[in-house]
């Protein structure tokens, strides 16, 4: 993994095959195209969408909100692009609901273009992004994820990255027309840097 930074900009993460870019409204059309290509593929795992979700206007609004969350440190969404093709979006990784205080954790979500499955691209992207989330720059202690038991691809990706299944949540999310049971899993940051304010005086 490498991290590229420019003054005043969110970091760009690079793997051998992917660019992980922070939300940018200029990628709205590329995101519309991603969702159009993968509508049937993602439907079994997706929550209800608001009216107009497929429009560039709505996607641009989501990207602007994502950029604000990124800047505030309350959410870190990365769009996946092939190296050498900065106009195309082939997936996303989202660290949402970032909470500090005694928790210092977040929720993880991810999606990949159906045509690129089976190439370990999501494992590559997540290993890179998790490295950033667990770095001293972001310094999260815990990343949580939830997946439907039949979603074996997501289960395998999380297992490969070291996530440990912690339990089962009944009627956890409303997905594809009804409440769905999910398994919950988590990954802990062994290199977590304890905030100075947590150190008690002797």
The residue among 132, 190, 143, 150 whose CA lies nearest residue 166 is 143
Domains of the chain, each with CATH number or no CATH: 2-141 (3.40.630.30)
What's the pTM value of the predicted model, to 2 decimals?
0.90
User: Per residue in 74-114, pLDDT tens?
Assistant: 999 999 999 989 899 999 999 999 999 999 999 999 999 99
Which tens digit of pLDDT belongs to each residue from 43-69?
A: 888 887 877 788 899 999 999 999 999
């Amino acid at each position: 993994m490498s991290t590229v930074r420019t003054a005043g900009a969110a970091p760009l993460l690079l793997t051998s095959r992917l660019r992980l870019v922070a939300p940018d409204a200029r990628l709205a059309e590329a995101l519309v195209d991603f969702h159009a290509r993968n509508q049937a593929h993602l439907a079994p795992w997706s929550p209800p969408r608001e009216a107009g979700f497929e429009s560039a206007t709505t996607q641009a609004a989501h990207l602007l909100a994502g950029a604000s969350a990124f800047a505030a440190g309350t959410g870190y969404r990365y769009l996946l692009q092939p190296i050498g093709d900065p106009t195309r979006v082939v997936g996303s990784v989202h660290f949402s609901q970032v909470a500090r205080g005694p928790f210092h954790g977040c929720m993880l979500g991810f999606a990949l273009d159906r045509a690129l499955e089976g190439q370990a691209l999501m494992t590559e992207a997540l290993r890179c992004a998790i490295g950033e989330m667990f770095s001293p720059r972001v310094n999260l202690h815990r990343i949580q994820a939830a997946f439907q038991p039949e979603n074996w691809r997501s289960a395998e990706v999380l297992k490969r990255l070291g996530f440990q299944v912690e339990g089962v949540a009944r009627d956890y999310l409303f997905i594809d027309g009804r409440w769905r049971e999910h398994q919950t899993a988590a990954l802990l940051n062994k290199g977590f840097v304890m905030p100075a304010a947590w150190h008690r005086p002797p």
